[in-house]
Amino acid sequence: MHMRGLPVCTFSDHLTIAVPVAVAAAVGTYLLTRYLSSRSDSKGKVNLEINKDNAKVVHSFDIEDLGKKAVYCRCWRSKKFPYCDGAHAKHNEETGDNVGPLIIKRRDA
């Protein structure tokens, strides 16, 4: 039974409409998900807050000024950056990373 004035749609007619709509919805969802996740994803960045106004963060030190030992941050999470304060332990726990500090020390003569 069909309503007067409306055409009778066959299974083939339904597929002709449903398949392109489903494909368009899937592609749209995929693109929207990629766009939104790329905007808010900060886990891909290493430096989240230190000297963000500079295009490149560079620190240089003279060997003569180091003393016996210097411990530098490599996770970019240290509150004492560029020196390590142990923040990599929390970073490693949260991300599954295994970064540690850069330790420079004088060789015993």
Residues with catalytic function:
56
- Return all residues near 46 (Cβ < 8 A) that are at least 6 apart: 75, 76
∠ CA 25-33-24, nearest 5°, is: 15
Q: Give the chain's length.
A: 109
Where on the phi/psi map is residue 5: left (φ > 0), alpha (ψ -120 to 50), or beta? Answer: left
Largest Cα–Cα separation, the chain: 102
At 80, which amino acid appears? K
